[in-house]
Each structure stands twice: as C-alpha cells, then as structure tokens.
Amino acid sequence: MNTPARDRPRIGFWVSAWLPVLIAIAVIATESTEYFGADRTSGPLRWLFEHLFGKVKESSWLEIHHLVRKTGHFLGYGLVAITWLRAWWMTLPRAGFFPNAFLALVGTALIASGDEFHQSFLPNRTSSAWDVLLDCTGAVALELLAFLVVRVLRPAPLERAA
C-alpha cells in the first residue's frame, strides 16, 4: 500500500534526523588525520592542561596525555553513537530503544573500525583494535545514559483522557 505524499516525511525531517550523524562522521574523519596525531596534540593539550592545573613533569605528562586522548575516544565515540541513536529513533520510532541502540552501536563500530583502518596508513598514527573496543564501550555507556535520561529520569507523559 502506498503512503500518500502528504503523509511522507519531508526533506527537512531527513536532514534534521541525519545531518548530526554526518557532522559527527566529518569530525571523526578530521580528527583521524595526521594533524591530530599524538605528536601534534601533545603541545597544545599540555599548554591547556598546565594553564588549568599547573606545571607537570614530562613523565607525568606522557601518562596524562595518553589518558586525555583515550578519554577523547570514549566520549567522542559516545557522542557519535548518540547522533546515530537519535537518527534511528527518529527514522524508526516504533522499533523501540534497544533495536535503535543496536543500530547506533553498529554504525559507531563501523566508523571506529574505518577510522583505525585509515590511521594504519598514516606515518604518525597507529591502528588498534583496542581503540575500536574503547570507542564502542563509550558508545554503549552514552547510549545507556541516554536510556536512563529518556526512560527512567524523565517523567512519564500524562495519560490521555478517555
């Protein structure tokens, strides 16, 4: 059965649903370049860190820098997953949270895997399956947080009067 044209979502709906995903992927693609390798981010991140928290020894900075970068993986891909989740939720509202969350996780895992594959060709970057696992862990964590916010912490809508 064909849906009348007036009942189909308009282009604005699709842009609203999927543009954040495309922007998130573009951010990941940009950060996946050699310009965002550890050798290039250490200086600016150290400057920022030391302005916020004070001077640190070189040996301490190496550990801090590693943790900052891995935290970026966790949170960055968590946010990527949220954009995927939102898009799938808007596109497939009747599917429910967990099927849409699964689709969001798959999309995030594909982007993370592609990112690591791409980095394997860059001279100052490394490729690691552990980073993909960290990225997916961040995705699951933020999806669960979204579930808590949307389903548990948000008050239930009022029942319609019969």
Residue 123 carries which DSSP code?
T
* Lookup result for tokens 């099927």: 99
Question: 4 pLDDT exceeds 60?
Answer: no
| pLDDT at residue 153, as a whole number | 76
| pLDDT at residue 152, as a whole number | 78
Which range has the worst mean pLDDT, 2-6, 95-99, 100-104, 158-162?
158-162
| pLDDT at residue 156, as a whole number | 61
Contact 137, 74 (CB under 8 A): yes
Mean pLDDT computed over every residue of the chain? 90
Distance in angstroms (rounded) separating the CA atoms of residues 104 and 43:
34
Distance in angstroms (rounded) separating the CA atoms of residues 56 and 42:
13
128 closest CA partner among 137, 139, 119: 119
